[in-house]
Every structure is written in C-alpha cells, then in structure tokens.
Structure 1
C-alpha cells in the first residue's frame, strides 16, 4: 500500500502562508492597522457592574446599629424577643437538615 502526500500538513502550511500574506498586506497599506478582537458588554452586564460597584461601597458592618446595640446591652435596655430567637434557631436547624 502506498500513501501519497502529507495529508493535512500541506493545508495548514497553505493557510498559515495565506494569513501571513493578508497580515503583511494590511500592514503595508497607508494607515493600515490589524483589527484586534473586540468585546461588547450587554446592557444587563453593565447594570450588574454598576450594582456590584454600589454594593462594594456599602460597609459590611453597620457601625451605627452595632454601637446602638452595644450601648443598649451595656445600660440594660436591650430586651431580645425570645420567641424570634427560638423560631430562628428552629428554622436554621431545619434548613441544615434539608441540605
């Protein structure tokens, strides 16, 4: 059995040669520039970037609330709702079991 040719290698070389020729032609034209890739961000993506920036400006800890609670605990006026605490603990426990 005789196999002639080099298969796809010749095609790759021809393609590469053509690409180089086109690149050289663009470079040699007056004012010629090679166009690069472009990226277009959708309206939704721009909106998400805006919101992400807004969220970054919000402090992770609300200092005023923390200071207020510390003061109320210190002077004895803080009275947490025990039913809300119990309900939260139960809800958290149940959600952990579901996961």
Structure 2
C-alpha cells in the first residue's frame, strides 16, 4: 500500500515550536518575569457591589415604624391618606405594565 502525504501535523515542526515555547518560559523565569492573570472590574460593577452590601445591612423589617403604626392603630389616631394610597397603587400598576 502506498500513502501519499499526511494530513496530520508535521512532528518536527510541532516539536520545534514546543522547544521555542519552553525556551521563552525558561528565560522569563530566569529574568523574574511572571505571567499572571488580571481582572478589571468596571465602575458599574463596583457600584453594584457597594449597593448590594448596603442593602444587606438594612433590616428586613423597620421595627420602629411598625411599632409606631401599631401604637397609632391601638390609640385610634392612625389616619391613612387615601389619595396617597390610591396614587401609589396606580403607580405600581403602571410599573407592572412597563415590566
């Protein structure tokens, strides 16, 4: 059987390329050059992380506000602003449609 040429990589070329690469790495080590990965974080990502930390610091329930409202309800002095509640409901509905 006769084989005409090869479709693979020439082993001599591959070996010499690896030798050159090894030589460069050895020179870099001798010269003190160190390859390292770098990471750059965008300004927006830094701000997002900052706000995430601040949000985690906030309490889940505003205890003082809840206690104050409970006391007003018990005293009979709690008078919610109906116009403000209606406006907030409409705004929330508008935002739901947007999303």
Task: Output the TM-score relative to the length of structure 2.
Answer: 0.59
1:27-49 Cα shifts (integer Å, max 9, x gaps): 4x27x35321122445x258514
Which residue of structure 2 aligns with residue 19 of structure 1? 21
Q: State how far apart, in whole Å, the 2-side matches of 1:51 and 1:94 are.
A: 26
CA contact (8 A) 1:23 1:34 kept: no
Q: Does the CA contact (< 8 Å) of 1:26 and 1:33 recur in 2?
A: yes
Change (3 A) 1:40 1:88: closer
Given the two structures, how large is their TM-score scaled by the length of structure 1?
Answer: 0.59
RMSD: 3.5
Q: Distance in 1 between matches of 2:44 and 2:95?
A: 32
Aligned length: 96
Give the corresponding residue for 1:6: 8
Give the drift of 1:79.
0.8
Q: Structure 2: which 5+ residue stretches go unaligned?
A: none
